[in-house]
Structure 1
Amino acid sequence: MTSLENNVENKILVVGGGRMGAAIINGWLAKGIAPESIFLIDQNQSVLDSYKEQGVNTFINVENVPISESFSVFLLALKPQIILKSINEFNRLINLNSCLISVAAGITVSTLRSLMPNAQHVVRVMPNTPAMIGKGVLVGYIEEQKSAFIDLIEGLFSSLGKFYWVTNEEHMHSVTAISGSGPAYAFYFTQCFIESAKKLGLPEPLAQHLALETIIGSSALLDQSDEDVMQLRENVTSPNGTTQAGLETLMSDNIFMNQLLACCEAAKERSIQLS
């Protein structure tokens, strides 16, 4: 990130200030990237006003961006359906020295190249929403494994959490299904946990506290412990105890495992369809 940090001559254009675009911009600002080096295009005026107050250059449409501007990084933070419909209008802002980065699920490098023929350097990155608090998991794919943009991309996105590369673009479909969509699965499990606590007779406020704090504490232990996830589970499971009784039901006939796998497979298939 040091190659861009506080360097306004290296400019970043972000198209889309929704949840993910905002999470990325906020992470960059928090890590010291100069706000005046960031240019944001979004149709939501309230979003633009918020970032303008912080010193970010804001535009409500692509036509308002001066053609004279040259961007080192061009970040597409739009939904796949929107990219496929409107991306060609941004082509004029790409030059030979720009790195086009897309965080859209499913849209392949070849599709991006066909939609934006001016783009010579194209990268796909799959972030997830915990990037909003610097705890994201982000995975990148680039065709040019020795690209001069490798260090730049790692620096930019490592500021938002853990960053990894894949060398096979097909793996991005699985990445999308696991880390990209995964927070929603975790939130749904937590939602079900809260509802279970309520149905066991606990008052709603207490049910929420116990379920949420158990998930948060378990995640922190998993993060900080040297033991693997199976060992941590076994540490809680006394023979013939309450935890074993509960797990036997949860793990019966691998129903839960199979449902989770089916969930991930459905997300992966949808990513493939979007490509």
Structure 2
Amino acid sequence: MNMSDLKTRGLAMLGCGKMGSAMLEGWLAGALEPGDVWVMDPNPSEWLQGTGVHINEGLPDAPAMLLVAVKPQMMGDALPTVTAHGNGDTVVLSVAAGVTIAAFEDVFGADTPVIRAMPNTPAAVGRGITALVANDKGQATLDLAADLLDAVGQTVRLESEDQMDAVTAVSGSGPAYVFHMIECLAKAGEAQGLDADLAMALAKATVGGAGQLAEDSPKDPGTLRSDVTSPNGTTQAGLEVLMADLPDLMHRTVTAAAERSRELGK
């Protein structure tokens, strides 16, 4: 199975909220045509209705892939509507936090290829990163899932499903941590006398640029940090405050998110 199968047999999406919309926006930028996609969503957004994809029209008989993108709390109501696609060659790809592969096998059948993924919202601009892990039946289709998700960023493959809660806490939830950092950095700039719009522009560009540099540079982030830090200079003065609190704060933040992911999987 490959990307051409998605075009001939279709990609079905169960749910298209924030995460599903971010991924779909990225795919429609080049990887897929609107006619290749069927979406089942009881409350389709105005944006979704303007994409041209099939919405609530009934799914193809055997879509190449069924993307489950509903919230874990909605699974009980949503999954029974698509269980007929189990135990066949439709790949069930889930992006639901905390819902295990075993839970999908219970619903769709043990012979169903299941892939569990944790993407993040920068997929909307082609800068996402998605972690993947599959059951035995799904191993042969991991390349297809990777090809699809590579169209909206990077993919990594996990050694075991146990790692997914940590991935969720770091990269799945991580963009929200960074967005909040931008908010805080801009507010701090305002407090030092900058206009609000100027402070926000500086904060966005600084975080975005630093992230790009961290990805593109052969240097590790610690070295990049040291390169910016002159002895007894302004950066050192700021870092002395930040580094006193941030390591523990980030540890507690990621721990809380990972523990919630584990709770959702029970």
Q: How high is the TM-score relative to the length of structure 2?
A: 0.92
Aligned pairs for 1:1-275 (under 5 A) are 3-5=2-4, 8-45=7-44, 46-47=46-47, 49-51=49-51, 54=52, 56-59=53-56, 65=58, 69-117=61-109, 120-144=112-136, 147-252=139-244, 255-275=245-265
AA matched with 2:176: A
Residue pair 1:237, 1:243 contacting (<8 A) in 2 also: yes
Residue pair 1:142, 1:167 contacting (<8 A) in 2 also: no
How far apart are the structure 2 equivalents of 1:80 and 1:218?
Answer: 34
Displacement, 1:50?
A: 1.5
How far apart are the structure 2 equivalents of 1:239 and 1:48?
Answer: 52
Check 1:267–1:201 CA distance in 2 against 1; reply closer, same or farther (3 A cut).
same
Unmatched runs of 5 consecutive residues or more in structure 2: none
Displacement, 1:249?
A: 1.5
Displacement, 1:93?
A: 3.3
AA matched with 1:258: D
Q: Look up the SS of the partner of 1:149 in the other structure.
A: helix
User: Per-residue displacement from partner, 1:69-106 (whole Å, max 9, x unpaired)?
Assistant: 21110100111111134312220233511110110000
Cα-Cα RMSD: 2.1
Unmatched runs of 5 consecutive residues or more in structure 1: none
User: Per-residue displacement from partner, 1:203-257 (whole Å, max 9, x unpaired)?
Assistant: 22222222222212212222222211011100111111111111111122xx211
How far apart are the structure 2 equivalents of 1:79 and 1:170?
Answer: 20
How far apart are the structure 2 equivalents of 1:9 and 1:220?
Answer: 36
Check 1:40–1:119 CA distance in 2 against 1; reply closer, same or farther (3 A cut).
farther
Size of the aligned set, in residue pairs, is: 264
User: Per-residue displacement from partner, 1:158-214 (whole Å, max 9, x unpaired)?
Assistant: 111010110210100000000000000001111111111111122222222222222
Deviating above 6 A after TM superposition, structure 1's stretches of 4 or more consecutive aligned residues are none
Check 1:14–1:145 CA distance in 2 against 1; reply closer, same or farther (3 A cut).
closer
How far apart are the structure 2 equivalents of 1:43 and 1:13?
Answer: 15
Displacement, 1:149?
A: 0.7
Check 1:206–1:168 CA distance in 2 against 1; reply closer, same or farther (3 A cut).
same
Residue pair 1:154, 1:163 contacting (<8 A) in 2 also: yes
Residue pair 1:139, 1:164 contacting (<8 A) in 2 also: yes
How far apart are the structure 2 equivalents of 1:221 and 1:116?
Answer: 43
Check 1:256–1:147 CA distance in 2 against 1; reply closer, same or farther (3 A cut).
closer
AA matched with 1:238: S
Residue pair 1:6, 1:34 contacting (<8 A) in 2 also: no
Displacement, 1:131?
A: 0.4
How far apart are the structure 1 equivalents of 2:160 and 2:93?
Answer: 17
Check 1:147–1:216 CA distance in 2 against 1; reply closer, same or farther (3 A cut).
closer
Displacement, 1:148?
A: 2.1
Q: Look up the SS of the partner of 1:218 in the other structure.
A: helix
Residue pair 2:112, 2:137 contacting (<8 A) in 1 also: no
AA matched with 2:58: V
Displacement, 1:262?
A: 0.3
